[in-house]
Amino acid sequence: MSNPSARTSGHKARPRTPRSAEAKEKQQRILHIAMDTFGARGYNNASLAEIAEQAGLTQAGVLHYFRSKALLLTSVLELRDQTDIEQLGTDRPQGLDFLRHLVDTALRNAEREGIVRLYAVLSAESVTESHPAQDYFRDRYTGLRTFVADALREACDLPPERAEQAETAANAIIAVMDGLQVQWLLSPEAVDMAASTDLVVNSLLATLAPRTYGPAAGR
């Protein structure tokens, strides 16, 4: 599920900093080629050799910029996050606005198949033993669960004793959005990710705060 600010920790290893405009352009080209390759083939099946060939470099040339295949992968994921952050702006919305932002994210994802595929493939693959993106996705889900649960509590004005209810609802929203992405990738004409996400969010709001969001509230 694409959502900015969902990371809670960073990686110590960093790619090399290009010293010229030409080197920076080359590094960005490697990143975008790797994004497409990892999205299409997964991390384990993609090779540095094919990424290097598409970039017009040797494997050593790619490693000059990223030091390792694992660092290239985490750099690709950070590029994906940066794209989200730039579209959102500097301030994360709160409460109901954040939940509406999730619907907007689902709508936007329908226009960026490559990023959605990258996320779907790598998040599933990351559950395998020693996968280099495992910590990335674990941190991402931890942060995202917190953000969605906080937004639900704020939107519904839930007391502390109902915190677990909000956390359960947050898990459901995230699961629906991730599952919709897989269905959409397989049959885009049959799946409206934004409409389905909106329905689930509204249904959970009505369940958690029926006086505010239920039928009796005139919504």
pLDDT at residue 14, as a whole number: 74
* Whole-structure pTM value: 0.81
pLDDT at residue 150, as a whole number: 96
pLDDT at residue 8, as a whole number: 40
What is the torsional sign of CA 85, 169, 10, 114?
negative
- Cα distance between residue 209 and residue 158, in whole Å: 8
Task: Give me the CATH topology for the region 15-72.
Answer: Arc Repressor Mutant, subunit A (1.10.10)
Q: Return the half-sphere exposure (C-beta side, CA atoms, 13 A cut-off) of residue 14.
A: 5
CA 156 from centre of chain:
25
Judge residue 39's burial from the number of C-beta atoms within 10 Å of its C-beta, 0-12 exposed, 13-18 middle, 19 or more buried. buried
pLDDT at residue 90, as a whole number: 60
- Cα distance between residue 194 and residue 177, in whole Å: 9
Name the residue ranges covered by the structural domains of the chain. Answer: 15-72, 92-217
pLDDT at residue 91, as a whole number: 72
Total number of residues shown for the chain: 219
pLDDT at residue 5, as a whole number: 45
Question: pLDDT digit of tens for each residue in the chain (219 aa)?
Answer: 655 444 444 445 678 787 889 999 999 999 999 999 999 989 989 999 999 999 999 999 999 999 899 999 989 988 877 766 666 556 778 999 999 999 999 999 999 898 899 999 999 999 999 999 999 999 999 999 999 999 999 999 999 999 999 999 999 999 999 999 999 999 999 999 999 999 999 999 999 999 999 987 754
pLDDT at residue 124, as a whole number: 95
Contact 10, 146 (CB under 8 A): no
pLDDT at residue 16, as a whole number: 79
